[in-house]
Every structure is written in C-alpha cells, then in structure tokens.
C-alpha cells in the first residue's frame, strides 16, 4: 500500500481519484490547493504525488519548482492537466516530474501510470539529505565545513542571500538525520506550544521573514523565547538585510535584532560591542575553529555581575555541549568556584597548590591559599575588619630565594628562605609547594642546594 497525495482544485477529480486509488488499496491524501499540498509535504514524504498543473493560487509547475529548489522533490510526481501544451509537459519533466496524465483521465491509463511510478527509482525511500549532497568543489567544501560547524550550535540562525540560494536546503542540512524538520510561514498560525512539541529536537524553518505580518511576528517571538527549552533550532531566511526588513516590511526591530544580531553587527569594530558581546564573539571564534581547549584569560573583567552570571552560564553550557576543556585564568575566586572542577593556585609565577575546587576551598593547605580565601569579602561577616595578607607580591626581576612566599608567610621556617619546596603530592589528587608538608632535607643537603 502506497501513500498517494492528489493535488487538484476540482473536487470532482479529487473524489474520483481518491475512490479509485483507495479501491486499489492505497492510502490517499487530498489537497485542494498548492498551499495545502505544501503543508502536507512538509509533514511527510508521500510515495507518489498526482499534481494538477492549473490551480488558482499557485500552479503545479511552480509548486514542482519549489519542491525541487528546497530539496523536497524526493518522490515521483505525475502532472495532470486538461489543456497543457507539449512545452508545459516537457518543462515539468525537465524540473523533475516523472510522467504526465491528460484529463479526462482514463482508468487504465491512471492505474498503469500509478503502478509504473510506484516502481520507479524515485519511489524508493529517499536518501537522507546530507552535506555530501552539496558536491565536491572547493567552495562547496568550505560551505559544508561551515554548515557542519553551524549544525553543532543550537542558537537561532538567520540565513541571508538571494531567494534562489535554496535556503530551505541549507536549513535542512542543519537538522540531524532523523530529527523533525518543519518549514513554512503557515506554521506560525499553529499553537506555538504544540508546534514546539512537534519540532522537539529538530529544526523549525521560516522561509521568508519579509512575508510575516505582525501577528506572525509575535508568534515567532514566542517561539524564539521557548525554542531552547524544547531543544528546537529556529532557522529563518531573509533576502533583505535586517535594517531594510524593519524599515520596509514593518518588521519588529527587537525581533530582527534577536534573529540576526551578528548580521546587524558584522561591520562593527570591537569598541562598538559591549564587554559581554566581545566575550561571546571570542567564544564563537574559538568554537568556529573547533578548539578542544579554550584558554580564557580574565574572561569576566569587563562585565557587570548580571552579564558575568549569564556569561558563566554560557561557558558551562558550551563546555558540556562541545565537550570542551576550558582553562580560566582569573583573580576572581567566585568565578573559580562557579565554573572550575580543578584549581591551580599560583604565586609569583609558581604553582603553590593544586586540587579539586571543592577540596581546595574546603581545606586550603598552602599558607598563600589560606590567606587568599580569608581575604575574600563575606557578606555574613559584620563588624570585623577584612583580613589582608601582610606585604606585597615580590618583584619577579629579582624574586626572593627559596619559597617565594617566605617574606609574607606566617609559618616561615629557615629552610623556606633557602630551598625551593617541591610541588609534591600530599594526597593522590592534591599537590602543595610548601615545606610544612614535605620532609625537610638534612642541613648538608640544604647547604649544597644553596
Ligand atoms: S614553604 Fe615555608 S614560607 Fe613557603 S609557604 Fe610553606 S611555610 Fe610558608
């Protein structure tokens, strides 16, 4: 039993074909217009389409071209018409139609054509659309690489270019092979929560932002706010830049910014971005290079506390999603506590202590780490003066001998001033560079070492 889509604006033809095909044991779907056919094709790939050429909204040839351009012409299509010319039939075949039925359609001719179409290679299960479908030229190879990188990110994506660039094909390539892919502006008429449930884990594609009215834009905004929660990727296309879209098509400026922030800011200089945006751009650069390790040097310095919290959330999400190793260099103990698994405390260019964040914070061993944690402001301590370590960090041009912390250390011993402590394990997962935890060498060894 095959699933056959009959597209014809004449109810009599639809019902007659439906009856005949159902009698043959096929499952029949009916569409009275190109719009309805588009919607049904989005939902599922039929095994065969019988497509009328002359229809009042969009004619069959145009619909066939749309399917071909969007990569959806993966099933056999038989065109039908009562007044089509040979040229029209040839054009339909050139676009990808398999055969042609002239109205009035004779029963035997219909059944024979349907049988042949269902046995054709086009009727076999459609191959999964993949990046390899784009060909092998250097330009396409570069496009494939970029699409593969974009496919990994979950953020909303705005495609920009000529209408003929086949945006839907690119949007389809961003969806995982078995994931749902729903496309069409008409989706915005559906209940947003049901639509998100249907598209969960996949892609929702809106093919032309210039055609969205205000009500549809509001629905798109609703989807945008909830898509991430449902693991839905929103991909949209605009043949116009965002500024023109807002000015000439009554498009909501805020929504345009959220959909196309990079496109809007692509020509801006770094000083025109906020601190948070600069940090995001740097992270995007690191991800675009497929980095395994990202080193972030004082990543929250320019950020206020709210943006800092958002940025740290983003770092954590990216770390989990891309399996990244992130090395953060910071003076901010709070940032370490928020995002790190392990911490290495450094003093005057040398490792002082290494361990899990939980362990080091709960039980600091090196006197410098102890002083550092005691000097962190604590909102629960009132009336007491905040602890501060005595002295200043040393001049690294001529650093102190022995332990570089010795002239500030409350536990300093003679050996500390003469011999550099090793950075030795004191437990299986903990290292401390301090003579308090290490066997001190004999006096003769100390003399030799100095
Ligand atoms: S080695 Fe000595 S000076 Fe250095 S931290 Fe330990 S106790 Fe203090």
Could you write out the three-class secondary structure of 235-249?
EEEECCCHHHHHHHC
Provide the CA 56 distance to its chain's centre, in angstroms. Answer: 40
For ligand 1, say whether the CB of 367 is within 6 Å of any of its atoms.
Answer: yes
Pocket residue to mutate for ligand 1, from 346, 399, 406, most atoms within 8 A of Cβ? 406
Q: What is the pLDDT of residue 137?
A: 66
Distance CA 339, CA 319 (A): 10
Least Cα distance to 264 among 149, 401, 272, 112 occurs for 272
401 lines ligand 1 (CB under 6 A): no
pLDDT for 266 equals: 64
Smallest CA-to-CA distance from 129 within 172, 182, 67 is with 172
- Spatial separation of the C-alpha atoms in residues 203 and 182, rounded to whole Å: 6
Residue 448: the pLDDT is 47
pTM: 0.46
Enter the tokens of residue 52: 């009328």
- Ligand 1: does its nearest atom lie under 6 Å from the Cβ of 412? yes
Q: Is 242 in the pocket of ligand 1 (CB under 6 A)?
A: no
CA 354, 360, 366, 367 torsion-angle sign: positive
Distances in whole angstroms, Cα of residue 288 to Cα of each of 66, 339, 363, 433? 32, 22, 39, 38
In this structure, the dihedral spanned by the alpha carbons of residues 438, 440, 445 and 448, taken in order and rounded to 10 degrees, is 70
Length of the chain: 450
What are the tokens at 6? 């009959």
Task: Find the 16 Cα to ligand 1 centroid distance in Å.
Answer: 94
Quote the CA–CA distance of 92 and 88 in Å, as a whole number. Answer: 6
What's the rounded Cα separation, in Å, for the pair 435 and 423? 10
List the alpha helices (DSSP H) in 71-187.
86-95, 107-119, 138-152, 167-173
Cα–Cα distance for residue pair 173/183, rounded to 1 Å: 13
Nearest CA to ligand 1 atom 3: 406
pLDDT by 10s per residue, the chain, length 450: 788 999 999 999 999 999 999 999 899 999 999 989 988 887 777 889 999 998 888 899 999 888 877 667 878 999 998 876 778 888 888 888 888 888 888 898 999 999 998 888 766 654 445 555 555 666 666 777 677 767 766 678 888 777 666 677 778 777 776 678 887 777 888 788 888 888 888 888 888 888 888 888 888 888 888 887 888 888 888 888 777 888 887 888 777 777 765 555 667 788 877 676 777 777 777 766 777 888 888 888 767 777 777 778 877 877 777 778 889 999 888 888 888 999 999 999 999 999 999 999 999 999 999 999 998 887 777 777 788 888 999 999 999 999 999 999 999 999 999 999 999 898 878 999 999 998 877 655 554 444
> Is 46's C-beta closer than 6 angstroms to any atom of ligand 1?
no
Confidence (pLDDT) at 102: 87
Residue with tokens 């650093």: 399
pLDDT of residue 70: 67
Atom of ligand 1 nearest to the CA of 403: 4
Q: Is the CB of 409 under 6 A from ligand 1?
A: yes
Residue 52, exposed/middle/buried by CB under 10 A (0-12, 13-18, 19+)? buried
Calculate the CA 58 to chain-centre distance: 34
The CA angle 116-118-121, to the nearest 5 degrees, is 90
3-state secondary structure 372-404: HHHCCCCCCCCCCCCCCCCCCCCCCCCCCCCCC
Beta bridge partners, 101, equal 80
Helices marked H in 289-345: 305-322, 333-339
Beginning with the edge strand found earlier in the chain, give each strand of the sheet holding 203-206 in spatial order.
Answer: 157-160, 233-238, 203-206, 181-183
415 lines ligand 1 (CB under 6 A): no
Atom of ligand 1 nearest to the CA of 368: 5
Q: Which atom of ligand 1 is nearest to the CA of 352?
A: 5
Task: For residues 243 and 263, give the distance between their C-alpha atoms in angstroms, rounded to a whole number.
Answer: 10
Instruction: Return the ligand 1 atom nearest residue 404 CA.
Output: 4
């Amino acid at each position: 039993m095959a699933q056959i889509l009959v597209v014809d604006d004449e109810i009599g033809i639809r019902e007659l074909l439906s009856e005949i095909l159902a009698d043959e044991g096929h499952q029949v779907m009916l569409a009275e217009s190109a719009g309805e056919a588009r919607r049904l094709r989005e939902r599922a790939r039929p095994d065969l389409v019988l497509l009328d050429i002359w229809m009042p909204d969009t004619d069959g040839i145009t619909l066939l071209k749309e399917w071909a351009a969007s990569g959806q012409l993966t099933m056999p299509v038989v065109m039908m018409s009562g007044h089509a010319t040979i040229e029209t039939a040839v054009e339909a075949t050139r676009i990808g139609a398999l055969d042609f039925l002239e109205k009035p359609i004779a029963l035997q001719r219909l059944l024979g054509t349907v049988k042949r179409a269902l046995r054709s290679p086009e009727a076999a299960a459609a191959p999964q659309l993949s990046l390899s479908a784009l060909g092998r030229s250097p330009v396409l190879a570069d496009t494939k690489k970029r699409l593969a990188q974009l496919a990994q990110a979950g953020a909303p994506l705005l495609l920009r270019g000529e209408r003929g660039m086949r945006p839907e094909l690119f949007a389809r390539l961003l969806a995982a092979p078995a994931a749902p892919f729903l496309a069409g502006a008409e989706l915005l008429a559906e209940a947003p929560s049901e639509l998100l449930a249907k598209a969960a884990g996949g892609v929702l594609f809106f093919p032309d932002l210039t055609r969205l009215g205000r009500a549809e834009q509001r629905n798109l905004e609703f989807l945008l706010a909830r898509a991430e929660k449902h693991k839905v990727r929103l991909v949209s296309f605009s043949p116009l830049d965002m500024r023109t879209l807002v000015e000439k098509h009554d498009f909501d400026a805020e929504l345009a910014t959220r959909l196309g922030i990079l496109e809007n800011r692509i020509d801006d200089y770094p000083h025109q971005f906020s601190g948070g945006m600069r940090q995001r751009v740097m992270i995007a650069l690191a991800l675009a290079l497929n980095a395994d390790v990202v080193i972030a040097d004082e990543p929250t310095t320019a950020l206020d506390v709210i943006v800092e919290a958002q940025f740290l959330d983003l770092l954590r999400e990216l770390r989990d999603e891309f399996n990244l190793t992130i090395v953060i260099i910071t003076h901010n103990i709070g940032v370490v506590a928020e995002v790190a698994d392990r911490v290495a405390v450094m003093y005057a260019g040398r490792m002082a202590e290494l361990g899990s964040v939980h362990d080091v914070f709960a039980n600091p061993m090196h006197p410098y780490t102890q002083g550092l944690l005691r000097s962190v402001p604590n909102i629960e301590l009132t009336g007491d003066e905040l602890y501060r370590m005595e002295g200043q960090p040393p001049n690294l041009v001529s650093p102190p001998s022995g332990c570089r912390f010795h002239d500030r250390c409350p536990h300093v011993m003679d050996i500390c001033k003469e011999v550099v402590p090793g950075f030795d394990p004191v437990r299986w997962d903990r290292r401390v560079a301090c003579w308090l935890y290490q066997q001190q060498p004999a006096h003769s060894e100390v003399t030799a070492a100095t």
